[in-house]
Amino acid sequence: MINRKRVGAMALYGATLLLMAVEPAAAQSGYASTTEGAIRGLNSNLIYVAVPITILVEGILIYTVWKYSKTDEAKPTQENRRLEITWTVATAVILLFVGVASYQVLGNPYVAAESQAEIPGEAAEEIEVYGQKYNWNFVYRNVSVDGASATDVSMTNVSIEGATVENVTDEGIVISGGSVSSAGDGALDSASLVNGTVTAGAGNPSQYETGEQVRFTDVSVSGAAIEGASITDATVKSTNTLVMPKGQNIRLNITSRDWLHAFHVPDLGLKQDALPGQSNSIVTRPTKTGEYQLYCAEYCGVGHSGMLGTVEVRSQSNYDSWLAQTWFSAQG
């Protein structure tokens, strides 16, 4: 019959392992994303179990070889029920620990992208990711930003109210102040114009005088600086630079426009196949600002090694500014 102390020790060991198994779900702080935290937390806890077991097994093996190395004739083993029960229970406890810990991580919505489990916090912001030899392309849809600023902006089909003529040049009419709105796609609701040059659609520049208050409709502007821009229902695109806001749930819908690729950001714990005609998802929440290397992890041809990109995690305000600046940069 097994000694009570031995049973108590095994129970304590088992309880300790089960407590460690719960840790990966919470071990998400201190990492660059919730996904990385869950995966690395599981790896660490498995090492906590694997290292002592490895040392124990190797120690017994080395001791056995040393002790019986000079024995001429092997002797039959004797039955030891206590030993058999002990290692059976220990094995069961270890397997239970591995199963519980792995199930928690594999069922985590930040790791299992197709999981139907509810994602903590706000609804995920969706970003489309397209792999195409040999670049990564990103699309942000239904973008809305308030109070954005941008510089060196070029726009077409815009209306300007209450601007002041600062100068008239061969390139166009230099103006400042006033408000600008989009007459084209409707994405730019309003913005305060700091300065800019009207380059087309204003008629003969010589008819304007310095200091004159002007109003323009359906004109083009270049080199403009604006503040307080309100953008709604805009589409922003970028290539090889994926920008995400810190602390926001993100869903990346990943596909390919030609053949097999694989989206891989090791420092954020993100990896997903990019297959033509199929969209695979990754859900994550970045927790640290910074830049992270993006790779293609599937051999995709002669340019595979150069299919690199950068993932930038920014504060919410910097993220909104980037969206606005990138959208304005595409308008000219």
Q: Which residue did the predictor score with more confidence, 136 or 77? A: 136
The single-letter DSSP state of residue 63 is H
106, pLDDT greater than 80 = no
Residue 25 is predicted with a pLDDT of 43
According to the model, what pLDDT value does residue 184 have? Answer: 59
Average pLDDT over residues 249-270: 91
pLDDT tens, position by position, 56-75: 889 888 988 888 777 777 67
Least confident segment among 170-174, 191-195, 201-205, 304-308: 201-205
> pLDDT-based confidence at 104, cuts 50/70/90?
confident
pLDDT at 236: 92
Higher pLDDT, 36 or 15: 36
Average pLDDT of every residue of the chain = 82
* Both tokens assigned to 3: 């000694």
The mean pLDDT of 173-188, rounded to a whole number, is 79
**The pLDDT of residue 24:** 45
**In the block, which residue shows the tokens 């926001």?**
248
Q: Is the pLDDT of residue 300 over 70?
A: yes
Q: What is the mean pLDDT of residues 240-249?
A: 92
**CA dist., res. 74 & res. 212, Å (int):** 109
Beta sheet of 261-265, edge-to-edge order: 241-245, 309-314, 290-296, 261-265, 270-274
Lowest mean pLDDT among 71-75, 127-131, 132-136: 71-75
Whole-angstrom CA distances from 79 to 76, 84, 228 are 10, 9, 83
DSSP string for 147-165 = EEEEEEEEEEEEEEEEEEE
pLDDT, average across residues 305-309 = 92
**Closest C-alpha to 18, from 84, 87, 96:** 96
- Percentage of the chain exceeding pLDDT 90: 21
